[in-house]
Amino acid sequence: MDENRVTDQGAPRGVTDTDPASASGGPAADVVRLCRELIRIDTTNRGGNVSVGEPEAADYCARWMRQAGMRPRFFESSPGRVSVIGHLPGWDPDAPGLVLHGHTDVVPAEAEEWSVDPFSAEMKDGMIWGRGAVDMKGMDAMILSTLLHLARTGQRPRRPLTVAFFADEEAGGVYGAQWIVDNHPEVFDGCTEAISEVGGFSTQVGDARAYLVQTAEKGLAWLNLTAVDRPGHGSAQHPDNAVTHLAAAMHRIGTHQWPLEYTKTTRMLLEQVAELTGTVFDEADPTPQLEQLGHAMSWVAGTLRTSTNPTGLTAGYKHNVIPSTATGTVDMRLLPGSEQEALATVAELAGEHVTVEPEHRDVGLETPFSGDLVELMVTALRAEDPEAEVLPFMLGGGTDNKSLSRLGITGYGFSPLRLPPELEFTSLFHGIDERVPVDALEFGCRVLERMLEPRAEA
Q: Give 37 or 434: the residue with its C-beta nearer to Zn ion.
A: 434
Q: Give 52 or 248: the residue with its C-beta nearer to Zn ion.
A: 52
Backbone angles phi, psi at 114, to 5 degrees: -95, 155
Interface residue list for Zn ion (CB under 5 A): 135-136, 197
Q: Give 140 or 453: the residue with its C-beta nearer to Zn ion.
A: 140
Q: How far is the CB of 197 from Zn ion (least distance, A)?
A: 5
Q: How far is the CB of 206 from Zn ion (least distance, A)?
A: 29
Q: How far apart are CA 55 and CA 167, in angstroms?
A: 9
From residue 66, how far is each of 9, 56, 131, 151 by CA, in Å?
Answer: 11, 15, 26, 10
Separation of first and last alpha carbons in the chain: 41
Q: How far is the CB of 14 from Zn ion (least distance, A)?
A: 22
Q: Give 242 or 440: the residue with its C-beta nearer to Zn ion.
A: 440
Q: Give 56 or 135: the residue with its C-beta nearer to Zn ion.
A: 135
Angle between the 31-40 and 137-152 helix axes, to the nearest 10 degrees? Answer: 140
Q: How far is the CB of 121 from Zn ion (least distance, A)?
A: 17
Q: How far is the CB of 413 from Zn ion (least distance, A)?
A: 10
Question: b/e string for 104-118 if b means 16 or more Cβ within 10 A?
Answer: bbbbebeeeebebeb
Q: Are 269 and 393 in contact (CB under 8 A)?
A: yes
Q: How far is the CB of 95 from Zn ion (least distance, A)?
A: 27
Q: How far is the CB of 403 from Zn ion (least distance, A)?
A: 13
Q: How far is the CB of 103 from Zn ion (least distance, A)?
A: 6
Strands (E), 188-241: 191-196, 201-205, 208-217, 219-228, 232-233
Q: How far is the CB of 131 from Zn ion (least distance, A)?
A: 11
Q: Give 135 or 385: the residue with its C-beta nearer to Zn ion.
A: 135
Q: Which letter does DSSP use for residue 122 in this model?
A: -
Residue 379: enclosing H or E segment and its boundaries?
A: helix 372-384
Q: How far is the CB of 82 from Zn ion (least distance, A)?
A: 17
Helix (H, G, I), strand (E, B) or coil at 448: helix
Q: Give 197 or 433: the residue with its C-beta nearer to Zn ion.
A: 197
Q: Give 98 or 136: the residue with its C-beta nearer to Zn ion.
A: 136
Q: Which residue is nearest to Zn ion (CB)?
A: 135
Q: Where does 95-233 have alpha helices with state H? A: 137-152, 177-183
Q: How far is the CB of 416 from Zn ion (least distance, A)?
A: 16
Q: Give 176 or 392: the residue with its C-beta nearer to Zn ion.
A: 176
DSSP string over 297-353: HHHHHTTSS-EEEEEEEEE-SSTTEE-SEEEEEEEEEE-TT-HHHHHHHHHHHH-TT
Q: Are 276 and 210 in contact (CB under 8 A)?
A: yes
Q: How far is the CB of 135 from Zn ion (least distance, A)?
A: 4
Q: Which letter does DSSP use for residue 135 in this model?
A: T
Q: Which letter does DSSP use for residue 17 in this model?
A: S
Q: How far apart are CA 418 and CA 383, in angstroms?
A: 13
Q: How far apart are CA 187 and CA 71, in angstroms?
A: 13
Q: Give 197 or 449: the residue with its C-beta nearer to Zn ion.
A: 197
Q: How far apart are CA 393 and CA 395, in angstroms?
A: 7
Beta strand 410-413 with 191-196: parallel, antiparallel or unpaired? parallel
Q: Give 339 or 433: the residue with its C-beta nearer to Zn ion.
A: 433
Q: Give 351 or 397: the residue with its C-beta nearer to Zn ion.
A: 397
Neighbours of 372 (CB within 10 A): 9
Q: Are 295 and 425 in contact (CB under 8 A)?
A: yes
Positive or negative: CA dihedral 185, 397, 97, 85: positive
